[in-house]
Amino acid sequence: MVQMNRGIVVDTSSSPHSLLRPVPISSSRIDDEFWTPRRRALREAGLPSQFEMCEATGRIDNFRRLSTGKNDPFQGRVYNDSDVYKLLEAASHALAEQHDQDLAATTDGVIEAIAGAQRPDGYVHSYFSLEHEHQRYSDLTTQHELYCAGHLIQAGIAHRRATGSGSRLFGVARRFADHICDTFGPDAREGVDGHEEIELALAELYRETGERNYLDQSIYFLQARGREPSLMPAVPGAYERSYYQDHLPVTDQTEVVGHAVRATYLATGMMDAALEAHRPDMARAATNLWESAFERKAYITGGLGARYEGESFGDDYELPNETAYAETCAAIGGVFWSWRMLCRTGDAKYADAIETALYNGVLSGVSLDGTKYFYVNPLTSRGGYERADWFDCACCPPNIARLLMSLPGYFYSTSEDSLWVHLYAAGGVRASLPDGRAIEVEVETRYPWDGDIRLKIVEAPVSEIALRVRIPGWCDRATVTVNGRGAQPDAAPGTYLEVKRRWNQGDVVSLSLPMPVRKLSSHPQVTTNQGRIALARGPLIYCVEAVDHASIDLLETALSRLDEFDMRHDRDLLGGVTILRTIGERLPKPFDERSQIRAVASNRNDEVDKLPITAIPYYAWGNRGVGAMQVWIPAI
Ligand SMILES: [Zn+2]
C-alpha cells in the first residue's frame, strides 16, 4: 500500500527563498519501462547485497563492538560509518515509497547497533570511541568525523520522513547534532571538516525541526572555510588547501576546484544557506561555481572531476576521456547541487543538468542488475575495466542507492499556482499546492526512448492552475498541445512552458519532443575531443562498445560526419535499448607496424575499409563482459 505524503528529499516547503516546493516521494509514481526495472533491481538485489557487504566488511560490527561492549577491534577505514548511514538513507527512501517488512526489519537491526554505539554525550563514531576516544576531533582535516555525522543526520531525517515521528535513528542523529552545535562555534571550539557534508545535513535538520540553531551551525561551518590562518591544520598527509575548498572564503570562490565530490557538497550546502537564510552572497557564489563546473569542467555525461590526482576538477576544458575520473559520487553531488539551484530559480538549465547526469554519468555507476558499481566513469576504455561488487572505500554504491531510491522526489514540484514537471516517466503525481488545492496528473510516455508524452488530468480544482512542463535544452521543435489543439508557439528549448487554465478531468496536455540522433562536438579547447563527435538521442549519450564490433579494433574506427543513422529498439538487449547503427570506416595505421607514426598522404586513399558501427546508451556499457568503449569517436 502506498502511504501518502511520505519521504521528502529536500524540504523547501517553508524555505523563504525557494520558488519550488517539494512533492513527496510517495506522491510521485514512476511506473515505466526505463526506471522501474532498474530501481526494482537496486531495491530487491542492490540494497540487500549492500547490507551484506556492510556486514561482511565489519562496517556494522564496528557499531556492535560499542553497543554490545565486546571491545572487538575497529575494522576498515576510519570513515566507514558513512557508508552504513547512506545505505540507511537509501532504505528509508525505499520505505517511504513502499513499505517492505524485510527491509524495515534489516534497517531496524542496524539502527539498534548505531543507537547502542552512541556515547552518553551524544557523540557517535565507531572509530573515535573506545581505544581512539582520546583522538576525538583531533584531525578534522583528514578524518571525516563531521562528514560521518552529516550522513547520520541525513539518514535520520530520511528515516523519520519515511516512518514517522518515533524514528529512533532520528533521535540518535539529533542528539549528535546537538553535541556538535555545543562543541563547535565562534564562542566554543573553532573547527571545520575537510570533507563537506555536515553543512547540508544541518540545514536539512533545520528544515525538519524548524530550530534555527542548526541552520546557524551550518552557516558557521560554511564560513569556517578559507580563513586566515586556516582552521584546517596541515597535518601529515593533508593536501593543499584548494583540495578542501579552503583556499578562499566560500563567498569569494568563483572557480570550482579541488576534490570534486567535496566541491559539489560544499556548493549544495551554500545553496541551502541561500534558500533558508537571507544570503544572496552564497547564492551568487554557488551560481558562479555552477557555471565553472557545468559550463567548462563537466563531461558530456554529467561526470565531474577530470583528474585522478586528488579526485579533483582540472582546469577549464581539461576533460580527458580515457583518464577521466568522473566519480559516481561527484555526478550525484552535481544533482544535489543543481536541484537546489532549480528550487531557487525555476531555471530549466538546472533541470537539464540533472537529467543529463541521471541518464548518463550517474546511471553508468550501477550495473543493470543493480549489484555492481563503477567508482570511476571513463569515457574511453581500452578494455579491462569493469564494475565491482563493492569497494574498500565504498562511497559510491550507497550514494547511487540513496539517489535512485529517492528519484520520484525529483520529478515534480509545486509553486504558488503551478505544478512543475521537470522529468518525464510513465506514472503520475498527486500534488498539493501551497494553498491546499490538489491536482492529480497521470503520465503516459515511453521516455527516454520516445519523446511523446501525455499528461492527463485526473483531478483538478475548479480554479486556474498552471502546468509548467520542461522543454529540454536538447530539444528543437518541441510542440505542446492541449486536448489536441492549440500548439504552443513558445516551446523553446531549455525553458518551462506554462499552460494555465481551469482544468477538467480528462484534459490531456501532449508534448512531442522530437528525438533525432544528434551529433555533438566539443568546445575546441577540449583538446582530447578535437576531430571527434559524440552521439546523443533525447537525454541519452551514446557510446560504442567492443562487444558489438567483434572483428574490428573499436579504437581504430571513425564515423562520417554526414552519415545517417538507423535506429532500432531492441527489447532483448541490455534490458531494452534503442541502438543506433551506421557505417563507419577503419582509420589508417602506420605502414610500418613497428612505428607509432605515419606520413599523411597528400590525396585521400579512396579504398577505405567500411565497417558497420552500433552505438548503445553510455549508461549500459560494461554489462556484457569486459571490452573497449568509446564516447567521443573520430569523425571524418
Ligand atoms: Zn564515491
CA 308 from chain centre, in angstroms, equals 20
Residue 332 alpha carbon to ligand 1 centre in Å: 9
DSSP structure string for 481-514:
EETTB---TT--TTEEEEEEEE--TT-EEEEE--
Residue 394 alpha carbon to ligand 1 centre in Å: 7
Model pLDDT for residues 576-588, shown as the tens digit of each residue: 999 999 999 999 8
The whole-number pLDDT of residue 605 equals: 59
Q: What is the mean pLDDT of the chain?
A: 96
Cα 193 from Cα 345, distance rounded (Å)? 29
Residue 197 alpha carbon to ligand 1 centre in Å: 13
Residue 569 alpha carbon to ligand 1 centre in Å: 32
Angle between helices 145-163 and 168-183 (to 10 degrees): 140
Q: Taking 50 as the threshold, does the pLDDT of residue 616 lie above it?
A: yes
Residue 305 alpha carbon to ligand 1 centre in Å: 12
Cα 137 from Cα 314, distance rounded (Å)? 31
In the block, residue with C-alpha cell 565497417: 611
The whole-number pLDDT of residue 237 equals: 84
- The region of weakest confidence among 108-122, 544-558, 615-629 is 544-558
Q: What percent of the chain has pLDDT over 70?
A: 98
- The region of weakest confidence among 249-263, 353-367, 598-612, 622-636 is 598-612
Residue 628 alpha carbon to ligand 1 centre in Å: 23
Q: What is the CA radius of gyration of the chain?
A: 25
Q: Taking 80 as the threshold, does the pLDDT of residue 489 lie above it?
A: no
Model pLDDT for residues 161-177, shown as the tens digit of each residue: 999 999 999 999 999 99
The whole-number pLDDT of residue 496 equals: 97
pLDDT band at 606 (very low <50, low <70, confident <90, very high): low
Residue 229: asked if its preceding bond is cis (omega within 30°), the reply is yes
**Mean pLDDT, range 18-47, rounded to an integer:** 97
- The region of weakest confidence among 175-184, 311-320, 523-532, 562-571 is 562-571
pLDDT band at 62 (very low <50, low <70, confident <90, very high): very high
Contact residues for 550 (Cβ-Cβ < 8 A; gap 6+)? none
Residue 329 alpha carbon to ligand 1 centre in Å: 4
**Mean pLDDT, range 140-144, rounded to an integer:** 96
Residue 322 alpha carbon to ligand 1 centre in Å: 19
pLDDT band at 312 (very low <50, low <70, confident <90, very high): very high
Burial class (CB in 10 A: 0-12, 13-18, 19+), 143: buried
In the block, residue with C-alpha cell 607509432: 596
Residue 375 alpha carbon to ligand 1 centre in Å: 6
The whole-number pLDDT of residue 604 equals: 63
The whole-number pLDDT of residue 1 equals: 36
Model pLDDT for residues 506-527, shown as the tens digit of each residue: 999 999 999 999 999 999 999 9
The whole-number pLDDT of residue 602 equals: 73
Residue 102 alpha carbon to ligand 1 centre in Å: 27
Q: Taking 90 as the threshold, does the pLDDT of residue 575 lie above it?
A: yes
- The region of weakest confidence among 120-124, 236-240, 470-474 is 236-240
Model pLDDT for residues 340-361, shown as the tens digit of each residue: 999 999 999 999 999 999 999 9
Residue 77 alpha carbon to ligand 1 centre in Å: 14
Residue 325 alpha carbon to ligand 1 centre in Å: 11
Q: Taking 90 as the threshold, does the pLDDT of residue 488 lie above it?
A: no
Contact residues for 325 (Cβ-Cβ < 8 A; gap 6+)? 260, 305, 306, 307, 308, 311, 312, 376
Residue 590 alpha carbon to ligand 1 centre in Å: 41
The whole-number pLDDT of residue 3 equals: 45
Q: Taking 80 as the threshold, does the pLDDT of residue 601 lie above it?
A: no
Model pLDDT for residues 398-434, shown as the tens digit of each residue: 999 999 999 999 999 999 999 999 999 999 999 999 9
pLDDT band at 563 (very low <50, low <70, confident <90, very high): confident
The whole-number pLDDT of residue 329 equals: 98
